[in-house]
Amino acid sequence: MWWVGLGVSGPVLVAAVLVSLRDVMLNANVALVLVAVVVTVAVGGGREAGVVAAVISALSFDFFHTEPYLRFRIASGDDMETTLLLLLVGLVVGHVAARGRRAHDAVESSGGEIRRIYRLANLGARGDEPADVIMVAQSELVSLLRLVDCRFEAPPFATSLARLERGGTVYWPAYRLRPGGFELPAAGAELPVLARGQVLGRFVLHPTPGTGVSLEQRVVAVALADQVGAVLAAPQRGEKQSHG
């Protein structure tokens, strides 16, 4: 919402400031400055904010920089053409900028998810204590899935919860699609920790209300649980020494 607000106020303020340069600055250059405002808002706030900024930029250009001034009327055919081009270019450039932002965010998110799996795998490879690995996994899951809370439980389990399956799906009657993906059940969901087909525990996931989680994020969560399962199934230091 902050970026949408900037999409409304930013073009108005910029157009108003440029009024002082009206005698020395061509209207075409004013329009280019407003396009730059649209790009900035679209990159920061996405498509919706970019569309708002494009429309407000065209209206602000009309109001402040076309005759008759301070009215939503345009007397000149050239100014009418410039206004329409400003709106069209603003919408197109804002759309492209928003797509570029989403692509960049997707790359950043993918890299971050790989780093999460690597950090947990590295703990297991070093032979860290299972309790420490579980604690790190809980922290990673909270960050990855934007949870309110995450805890580990060993069997037997006291409650029955919707299960996050191996493929990242959750079977739940009250399916809710939110920005970013599927909203996990409000009562919580369980992420089983498996090793050699046996359930060694589960993570109980308490979601943030109204927050969506993508399929890719859920699949990464399963991979994190698998790392914990591998650590829990591995012989511990004392067991290794007793067999030596």
Range with the poorest average pLDDT among 50-64, 97-111, 216-230: 97-111
Q: Note whether 225 and 174 are same-domain residues.
A: yes
Q: Which residue has the higher pLDDT, 172 or 98?
A: 172
157-214 per-position pLDDT tens digit: 989 999 999 888 887 776 677 777 888 898 899 999 998 889 999 999 999 998 888 8
Q: Look at residue 32 in the predicted model and tell me its pLDDT.
A: 87
Mark whether 229 and 139 lie in a shared domain. yes
Alpha helix segments (H runs only) across 46-76? 47-65
Section 110-133 average pLDDT: 77
135 inside domain: yes
Confidence category of residue 242, pLDDT binned at 50, 70, 90? very low
Same domain, 169 and 227: yes
Q: Is the model more confident about 93 or about 37? A: 37
Sign of CA dihedral 108, 120, 213, 216: positive
Q: Cβ(120)–Cβ(137) under 8 Å?
A: yes
Domain of 188, in residue numbers: 128-235
Whether 110 is covered by a domain: the verdict is no
User: Is residue 231 in some structural domain?
Assistant: yes
Shared domain for 136 and 97, answered yes or no, is no
The two tokens of residue 206 are: 């308490």
Provide mean pLDDT across the span 119-128: 79
Average per-residue pLDDT for the chain: 83
For residue 161, give the CATH number of its domain: 3.30.450
How many domains would you assign to the chain? 2
* pLDDT band, residue 105 (cuts 50/70/90): low
Strands 189-195 and 162-163 come out as parallel
Name the pLDDT band for 119 (thresholds 50, 70, 90): confident
